[in-house]
Amino acid sequence: MFQMTRKQVYLRRDQQEGLKSLADARHASESELIREAIDHLLAEDADDQRRARWLAHFEWVKHRAATIPGGTEKDRGWTRDDLHERGTC
């Protein structure tokens, strides 16, 4: 069993009524539903963080493709022929 910590929260009247109604309908305690909501928010935040890391990596890859040989000509702004014309190859 997990160790629980007591927290006091303030709810608007409509939130309290909705929570009580949902708890009754699900045959669960209000505390259970609050913990479930927190778990959902934490998982959503973790997904957002993973998505942000992936997007940052994707932007880095696009930048690298645009600045080093091996990227696509469309992304990097120069072609192989440009290098030959300049005598850099």
pTM score above 0.85: no
Whether 60 and 66 have beta carbons less than 8 Å apart is answered as no
Residue ranges of domains in the chain: 13-86
Q: How many residues does the chain have?
A: 89
Which letter, b or e, does each residue of 38-65 get, where b requires 16 or more Cβ atoms within 10 Å of its Cβ? eeeeeeeeeeeeeeeeeeeeeeeeeeee
**The Cα angle at residue 70 between residues 52 and 63, in degrees rounded to 5:** 30
Q: Alpha-carbon distance 65 to 44, whole Å?
A: 31
pLDDT band per the 50, 70, 90 thresholds, residue 76 = low
* 36-67 tens-digit pLDDT: 999 999 999 888 888 888 888 888 887 777 77
